[in-house]
């Protein structure tokens, strides 16, 4: 007997949700452009439409009529869309989203044709069609452009592939993160999405038993490593520190986890050396990367670390392939526990060293002896691209400017810019010349705008979700990948602004991780 499932939402419900959120988004875009939460809600519409198009490609009885209907609505919507965006009947620089959805449907059928033919020529033609459609959408300036088309194809591909539900949902979440990278121009969301992709790829690489999928996760990890570093923003290294610092507490419990963690670390250091080599070899042709990457890449011992990590990786792989274990299971488990405790001790020591350095540089005044890293450890107004200034002002707003009731419930959503203009206009005139609409720290921002109650509720919600996922990692190891992606976001949020495009992805990740259960479908035994 198969377990009965309860359907919460059907296609009609999803269409209503997508239509309502799209209406809210357009209302925010046209009538209330300064009200950020309207656009935040509206960002939910497009992924839902992409999912519905992918489902339509699977279930439609007449593909020609399905495509013609999309084409007809795209033509009918173009004039109203141009009037809204450009103020004219014909605005050639931007096209409505239905063209993107139509292209996604056509490419889905091309993919289906290639999967049925299973010939090199079919796959080659399909790849060419994907590239051509992507470039055409980018040049035409359709809403969500080529990345939106790829999101439709992702949902369709996941629908067609035979794999576990958790794997499918993970692929969808990662696809949404990559989609955000292509659409958003802000560095913060790009780097968090890449950090999440790196975290998911790394954890799945460390846990995967199938060799082909393991190589696929490894490739994703390498590509996201390159992209993270070339994002040229220092806040990405906070996520990387969390990923490499926290994962050993779980991975070191098994020999496989230890081995693949060392391989992941060796790979990342090698990526740094490769990018630095390219910068030096083609100094006159590339822009180069400085800031934190420059400090790391200039270390003379970095190549030695890379070589040592690869030697250790090779030794661990060689030991795992021996027919007989060098030690019994009990002693092996004890060694793994010792490795976890040692790493925990290393984390404590590193934290103490960081606290001492911060005290020594900021309070004791011994900043000169730290050289190039002084700009990162001295907290003044210019620290972190004026984050020091806006953090100080945010704390001042909360402690001195808000009433007791406002400290509990906040001054109001999206009011940070109004408070900065009202209370600190002189700073804008004396040299800042920037109106900060965010505290550039998600928690400080919530503290001012929605108060201590709102901030505390948000933190409790996020941390309780992380704890719930941590309890299910043994049952479903893939949950660890989701949990690490969420932790990467929470850590990077200390120096980032809250972005509307990120929250739907975070909510989906939380739903995946918290809702995941170890389920087994019982079937009748076959003779």
C-alpha to C-alpha distance for 232 and 220, rounded to whole angstroms? 19
How high is the pLDDT of residue 363? Answer: 79
Residue 142: strand pairing partners: 95
Closest CA to 136 of 104, 184, 176, 181: 104
C-alpha to C-alpha distance for 502 and 504, rounded to whole angstroms? 6
At 84, list the tokens: 């809204």
Secondary structure of 373-406 in HEC code, one letter for each residue: HHHHHCCCCCHHHHHHHHHHHHHHHHHHHCCHHH
Contacts 24+ apart (CB under 8 A), 457-461: none
How high is the pLDDT of residue 515? Answer: 76
Q: How many residues does the chain have?
A: 527
* Locus of tokens 């402690």: 399
How high is the pLDDT of residue 8? Answer: 53
Query: Average pLDDT of each block of 10 consecutive residues along the chain (527 residues)?
Result: 52 81 80 71 82 88 90 90 81 87 91 84 84 85 84 81 61 61 48 68 81 81 79 71 82 84 90 83 69 74 88 85 54 72 87 84 77 74 79 89 89 84 71 70 90 91 88 75 82 77 75 66 39
Closest CA to 102 of 152, 147, 43: 152
Contacts 24+ apart (CB under 8 A), 402-409: 402/448, 406/451, 407/451, 407/452, 408/451, 408/452, 408/453, 409/450, 409/451, 409/453, 409/454
C-alpha to C-alpha distance for 492 and 253, rounded to whole angstroms? 27
Q: End-to-end alpha-carbon separation of the chain, Å?
A: 16
Characterize 166-188 residue by residue with b for buried, 16 or more Cβ atoms within 10 angstroms of its Cβ, and e for exposed: bebbbbbbbbbbbbbbbbbeeeb
C-alpha to C-alpha distance for 103 and 145, rounded to whole angstroms? 10
Closest CA to 484 of 197, 100, 271: 197
- Residue 467 sits at the vertex; the CA angle it makes with 462 and 469, to the nearest 5 degrees, is 95
Residue 233 DSSP SS3: coil
How high is the pLDDT of residue 48? Answer: 86
Sign of torsion over alpha carbons 171, 191, 486, 338: positive
Contact 247/205 with Cβ under 8 angstroms? no
């Amino acid at each position: 007997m198969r377990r009965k499932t309860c359907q919460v939402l059907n296609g009609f419900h999803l269409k209503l949700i997508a239509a309502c959120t799209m209406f809210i988004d357009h209302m925010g875009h046209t009538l209330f452009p300064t009200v950020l939460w309207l656009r935040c809600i509206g960002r939910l519409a497009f992924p839902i439409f992409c999912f519905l198009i992918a489902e339509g490609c699977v279930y439609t009885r007449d593909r020609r009529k399905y495509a013609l209907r999309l084409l007809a609505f795209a033509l009918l919507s173009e004039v109203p869309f141009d009037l809204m965006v450009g103020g004219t009947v014909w605005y050639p620089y931007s096209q409505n989203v239905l063209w993107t959805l139509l292209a996604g449907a056509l490419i889905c059928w091309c993919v289906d044709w290639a999967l049925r033919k299973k010939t090199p020529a079919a796959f080659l033609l399909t790849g060419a069609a994907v590239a051509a459609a992507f470039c055409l959408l980018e040049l035409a300036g359709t809403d969500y452009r080529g990345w939106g088309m790829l999101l439709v194809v992702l949902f369709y591909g996941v629908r067609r592939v035979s794999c576990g539900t958790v794997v499918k949902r993970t692929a969808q979440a990662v696809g949404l993160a990559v989609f955000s990278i292509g659409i958003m121009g802000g560095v913060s969301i790009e780097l968090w999405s890449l950090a999440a992709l790196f975290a998911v790829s790394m954890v799945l690489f460390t846990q995967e038993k199938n060799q082909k999928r393991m190589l696929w996760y490894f490739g994703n990890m390498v590509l996201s490593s390159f992209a993270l570093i070339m994002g040229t923003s220092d806040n990405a290294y906070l996520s990387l520190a969390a990923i490499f610092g926290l994962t050993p507490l779980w991975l070191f419990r098994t020999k496989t986890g230890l081995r693949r963690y060392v391989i992941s670390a060796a790979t990342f250091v090698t990526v740094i050396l490769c990018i630095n080599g390219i910068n030096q070899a083609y100094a006159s042709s590339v822009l180069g990367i400085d800031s934190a990457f420059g400090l790391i890449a200039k270390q003379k011992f970095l190549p030695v670390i890379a070589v040592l990590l690869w030697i250790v990786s090779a030794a661990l792989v060689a030991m795992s392939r021996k027919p007989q274990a060098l030690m019994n299971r009990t002693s092996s488990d004890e060694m793994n526990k010792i490795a976890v405790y040692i790493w925990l001790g290393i984390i404590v020591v590193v934290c103490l060293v960081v606290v001492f350095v911060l005290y020594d540089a900021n309070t004791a005044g011994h900043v000169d002896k730290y050289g190039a890293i002084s700009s990162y450890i001295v907290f003044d107004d210019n620290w972190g691209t004026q984050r020091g200034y806006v953090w100080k002002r945010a704390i001042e707003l909360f402690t001195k400017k808000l009433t007791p009731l406002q400290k509990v419930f906040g001054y109001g959503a999206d009011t940070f810019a109004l408070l900065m203009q009202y209370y600190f206009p002189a700073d804008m005139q004396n040299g800042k010349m920037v109106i900060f609409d965010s505290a550039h720290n998600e928690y400080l921002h919530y503290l001012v705008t929605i108060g201590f109650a709102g901030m505390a509720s948000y933190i409790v919600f996020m941390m309780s979700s992380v704890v719930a996922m941590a309890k299910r990692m043994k049952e479903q190891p893939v949950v660890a990948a989701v949990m690490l992606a969420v932790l990467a976001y929470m850590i990077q949020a200390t120096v980032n602004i809250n972005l509307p495009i990120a929250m739907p992805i975070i909510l989906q990740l939380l739903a995946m991780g918290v809702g995941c259960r170890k389920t087994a479908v019982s079937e009748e035994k076959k003779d």
